[in-house]
Structure 1
Amino acid sequence: MIRALALVAALLAGPAPAETLKQQNERLFRQIEAVHAPRPAEMARLREIFARSGFVGQGNPAITRHPMTPAECRQRIPGGPEAYEDRRATRICGDRFMVPLYDPATQRPEDATACIDQFEFPNIPCAYPVVWVKAREAAQICAAMGKRICDAHEWEGACAGALEPPDYRFDLGSVAAMRSWHNRKYAATKSWAYGPAYKKGVCAANSVKSSSCGGGGFNSCGSNTYPAGSFPGCVSPLGIYDIHGNAAEHMNLPMAPGQMASRGSTELGVTEMKGSWFIFDRYYAHQDWCRWRAPYWHGSRVMSTGSHANYHLGFRCCKTVE
């Protein structure tokens, strides 16, 4: 109950007038402490990663114009944000607002060997997603929280409602060849988290770009995202929200067996940007069905210091269940 009340208080504290990015992040850190209770060393590491970047946060507060407030989000959720927490899942996964990844046709939640965040980081319902984060920083932040970046097949299973075994065709030798083979495999059974066809109005995908947004710079493009979970119908069969809309998400695409985060690798593969972002109901920029793999946009190794960041690109974490 105390943690639930802390969550309510933290989320109702809206942005102050003329808030700076540093102030915005300090408020975010208080929310993370209230909801996820990281250890002091984990919190110190998280602060270090944010400070080193100078850009990571919930968007440039000078130009970001969110279409919905956290208070409005709370009113849209039956039972309030706390209702999103499945206590059995919390026991399995070891953190609030995480759910097990498994195949319901053959497994129970307790059989899962991995879990995934229900919401984009900071994984707090009615908080805005963190963006302007490089893939490298996403992996480091997940590690700081005692988790890890997800492999592409884990995100896809979370969206489609069934985790399938890894099927990476490492023998094909290139990102393009692997992507083409994978997309052909699933084209006939494409689906979205909420059903078999794309629907407008279901997910957080009806916002607009900043009028000054041209080339995608921090000082010209606002992160005009919605609060996480503000569209209760935008949920997968396994209970994961905002897979479509809000922020696109960094994932790890392994190019060799030794690059799979789900098997304990820290070497990692190349960047895979999953899902869609906050303008898709206005401009359907590309495919975003659950198991679709994108072209190698802004491609790099996940742990490259030059991995990509922008105003609509965030992430969520996975966790291996021992």
Structure 2
Amino acid sequence: MVPCDTFCIDKYEYPNRPGVKPRNLVFYTEAVQICLSQGKRLCTTDEWSRACSGPRKFKYPYGNEFKEGACNLAKTQVTVTWTWYGLRKRDKKILLSKPALAGQYKACVSGYGAYDMLGNYWEWTNAGNSKHTILMGGSWSTPAKQVSCLNKTEAATKFYRIHNVSFRCCSDFLPRSKAGPNVQKPSK
């Protein structure tokens, strides 16, 4: 986890390990349970946006000017076709080849040190009392011109499971003995 201003966030999408393919095809309710089982919680929409924009409140994790190729995003909308018998062979190849390993895009890191906040996978967030569940950040299939640290979309249901959705967890600041030296609130 990396410290942000008032909370900590996983450095990478779940399972929060560099060089590993993040887990996708996760229901919102599964993401909530996984975070709770680790003594964390699903990040709120506000926490997620703050971790993405960093301490300087950038539009993108790395600054206010878009940098093509910095994050795992599409040049144009990527569409796959689902049929009654599954995916077409070409579309299976797309789904398997486009997601990147956690941290693979070295320039796609926020000022707090969280990787892949834009692109790679949409991420579930806790939208509080909203009727809808909110996905943040865009995915490898989202056109680059449509994303920013405030980019979000509503999922139709908490039981939405799809190839380009993952999540990461947040927590309050933890005591040094439980969290280690890298997740404590910085001293002023």
2:149 aligned residue (290, 301, 314):
290
Larger radius of gyration: 1
Q: Does 1:278 align with 2:140?
A: yes
Letter in 1 for 2:163: Y
TM-score (normalised: structure 2) = 0.77
Letter in 2 for 1:130: R
Q: Does 1:233 align with 2:100?
A: no
Relative CO higher for 1 or 2, CA cutoff 8 Å, sep ≥ 6?
2
Q: CA deviation at 1:209?
A: 9.4
Q: Does 1:214 align with 2:107?
A: no
Please, which runs of 5 or more residues in structure 1 have no aligned partner? 1-97, 103-111, 164-188, 257-268
CA offsets 1:54-88 (integer angstroms, 9 cap, x no match): xxxxxxxxxxxxxxxxxxxxxxxxxxxxxxxxxxx
Which residues of 2 match residues 51-130 of structure 1 at below 5 A?
98-102=1-5, 112=6, 114-130=7-23
TM superposition outliers: structure 1 runs of 4+ over 3 Å: 206-211, 215-219
| Distance of 2:104 and 2:72 partners within structure 1 | 7
Counterparts in 2 of 1:151 and 1:275: CA distance versus 1, 3 Å? same
Counterpart of 2:184 in structure 1 is none
Q: Does 1:316 align with 2:168?
A: yes
Counterpart of 1:248 in structure 2 is 122
Q: CA deviation at 1:203?
A: 1.1
Counterparts in 2 of 1:207 and 1:293: CA distance versus 1, 3 Å? closer
Q: Does 1:202 align with 2:70?
A: yes
Please, which runs of 5 or more residues in structure 2 have no aligned partner? 175-188
Counterpart of 1:42 in structure 2 is none
Letter in 2 for 1:297: A
TM-score (normalised: structure 1) = 0.47
Q: CA deviation at 1:101?
A: 1.5
Q: CA contact under 8 A between 1:246 and 1:312: conserved in structure 2?
A: yes
- Give the secondary structure class of the aligned counterpart of 1:124: coil
Letter in 1 for 2:165: L
Cα RMSD for the two superposed structures: 2.9
CA offsets 1:266-321 (integer angstroms, 9 cap, x no match): xxx741100011134xx34x732112443x332x3xxx5xx211000000011122
Which residues of 2 match residues 35-50 of structure 1 at below 5 A?
none
Residues paired across the two proteins, number: 167
Letter in 1 for 2:29: R
- Give the secondary structure class of the aligned counterpart of 1:311: coil
- Give the secondary structure class of the aligned counterpart of 2:155: coil
Counterparts in 2 of 1:203 and 1:141: CA distance versus 1, 3 Å? same
Counterpart of 1:138 in structure 2 is 31
| Distance of 1:247 and 1:233 partners within structure 2 | 16
